[in-house]
């Protein structure tokens, strides 16, 4: 018996019915409940995303430990695999933080929202994540890159970036480049709208915090990230190998203060779910649509339907990924985190089916649900 199984057994002795069992085969999603992996241990993959590769789903996320210290990276990125999305096999640590105190990804750094995409041309698995340097709060605002030949890793660290140094976005205006008004202006959002942060970071590269990746049907990859002091979303097109930036990028939802972006494509349109910026505390979700990734994004409002409390807190969750449902064209699954910052390892997962109303993505609470509840596109 391995140590995880032993721990699970010990927990069941102490906590009785509340403990997880490794023996159960799951066939239902239970948003917010403990979610046992194949060892009976609650899945540890927060702020995560899912890659489908050769019929297997890989769920990558932040490995958290107990207590508040678990909000910093003490271990790295955990990966699980599944063929049915209910039952997840623990595949270990895909990317490990460094023991070298001089490394920029040393143990204790901030390593958040890891996502992995597969590059068909190079046959590499490419991981990007939000990196903050140890002891420096959220000031670095870097995005970091790690690569592996295998989905379960180990991923090798490559570099971290402030994206697109010295390159203006495709939708920059003359006013953005040449401020007409004296700086600084009142407030973060006004600063964003006036292009202050864009200009400030032009020479050093743009900020990159909460992030996700998206691969379009033609194989073009994008890093979608919260920038400009979290006031504006930046969408950076990646190079063909996904290991860098092509130099084409756009600002989206300028001054709207979005975090936790998750992007998906349906019926030729691009959709983004996101949150507001209240740290670990949940807030009302947002949604937006565009005709192209680097085009104009239009707000679609809060996707949540339900009680005022549910609408105000996105069912006590924050978006992290949207997963195309297996075998159901046009059907998608919302993945969110219910953070537990005082005991980070106890964070829960809120997965809900995405419904549609008048071209808008909609979320409704379910205590439990199954993939068979998902509807294909009309």
Which residues of this protein are in contact with ligand GAL, per CB under 6 A? Answer: 47, 112-113, 210, 259-260, 277, 279-280, 318
Instruction: Name 277's Cβ contacts closer than 8 Å, sequence gap at least 6.
Output: 226, 230, 257, 258, 259, 283
The least CB distance from residue 324 to ligand GAL, in Å, is 23
The least CB distance from residue 225 to ligand GAL, in Å, is 12
Q: Which is nearer to ligand GAL, 213 or 325 (CB)?
A: 213
The least CB distance from residue 149 to ligand GAL, in Å, is 28
∠ CA(234), CA(127), CA(233), 5° rounding? 10
Phi, psi angles (nearest 5°) of residue 310? -65, -40
The least CB distance from residue 279 to ligand GAL, in Å, is 4
The residue number whose beta carbon is nearest to ligand GAL equals 279
The least CB distance from residue 210 to ligand GAL, in Å, is 5
Instruction: Rounding to the nearest 10 degrees, give the CA dihedral for residues 8, 13, 14, 17.
Output: 80
**Torsion over CA: 184, 187, 192, 198 (sign):** positive
The gap between the terminal CA atoms of the chain, to the nearest Å, is 49
Instruction: Rounding to the nearest 10 degrees, give the CA dihedral for residues 24, 26, 27, 32.
Output: 130
What is the layout of strands, in order, in the sheet containing 269-275? 259-266, 269-275, 286-290, 298-299
Q: Which is nearer to ligand GAL, 208 or 277 (CB)?
A: 277
Q: Which is nearer to ligand GAL, 113 or 115 (CB)?
A: 113
Q: Which is nearer to ligand GAL, 81 or 258 (CB)?
A: 258
The least CB distance from residue 11 to ligand GAL, in Å, is 28
Q: Which is nearer to ligand GAL, 38 or 210 (CB)?
A: 210
Rounded CA-CA distance 261/264 in Å is 10
- Asked if 114 and 97 count as a contact pair (C-beta separation under 8 A), the reply is no
Rounded CA-CA distance 74/69 in Å is 8
Q: Which is nearer to ligand GAL, 50 or 111 (CB)?
A: 111
The least CB distance from residue 291 to ligand GAL, in Å, is 27
**Torsion over CA: 209, 191, 166, 135 (sign):** negative
Q: Which is nearer to ligand GAL, 68 or 84 (CB)?
A: 68
């Amino acid at each position: 018996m391995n140590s995880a199984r032993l721990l699970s057994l010990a927990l069941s002795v102490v906590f009785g019915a509340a403990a997880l069992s490794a023996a159960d085969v799951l066939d239902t999603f239970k948003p917010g409940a403990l979610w046992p992996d194949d060892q009976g241990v609650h899945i540890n993959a927060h702020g995560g995303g899912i890659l489908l590769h050769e019929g297997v789903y890989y769920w990558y996320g932040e490995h958290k430990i107990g207590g508040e210290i678990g909000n910093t990276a003490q271990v790295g990125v955990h990966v699980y695999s599944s063929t049915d999305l209910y039952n997840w096999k623990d595949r270990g640590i895909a990317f490990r933080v460094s023991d070298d105190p001089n490394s920029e990804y040393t143990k204790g750094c901030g390593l958040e929202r890891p996502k992995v995409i597969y590059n068909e041309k190079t046959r590499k698995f490419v991981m990007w994540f939000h990196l903050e340097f140890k002891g420096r709060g959220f000031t670095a605002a870097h995005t970091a890159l790690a690569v592996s030949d295998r989905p379960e890793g180990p991923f090798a660290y490559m570099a971290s970036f402030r994206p697109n140094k010295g390159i203006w976005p495709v939708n920059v205006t003359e006013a953005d480049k040449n401020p007409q008004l004296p700086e600084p202006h009142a407030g973060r959002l006004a600063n964003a709208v006036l292009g202050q942060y864009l200009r400030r970071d032009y020479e050093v590269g743009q900020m990159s915090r909460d992030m996700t990746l998206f691969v379009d049907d033609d194989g073009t990859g994008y890093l979608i990230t919260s920038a400009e002091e979290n006031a504006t979303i930046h969408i950076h097109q990646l190079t063909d190998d996904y290991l860098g930036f092509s130099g084409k990028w756009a600002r989206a939802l300028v001054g709207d203060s979005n975090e936790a972006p998750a992007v998906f494509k349906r019926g030729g349109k691009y959709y983004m779910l996101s949150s507001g910026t209240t740290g670990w505390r949940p807030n009302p979700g947002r949604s937006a649509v565009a005709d192209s990734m680097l085009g104009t994004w239009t707000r679609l409002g809060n996707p949540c339907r339900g009680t005022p409390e549910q609408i105000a807190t996105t069912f006590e969750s924050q978006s992290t990924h949207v997963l195309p449902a297996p075998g159901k064209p046009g059907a998608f699954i919302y993945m969110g985190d219910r953070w537990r910052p005082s005991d980070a390892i106890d964070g829960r997962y809120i997965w809900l089916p995405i419904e549609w109303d008048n071209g808008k993505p909609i979320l409704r609470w379910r205590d439990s649900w199954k993939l068979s509840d998902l509807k294909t596109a009309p």
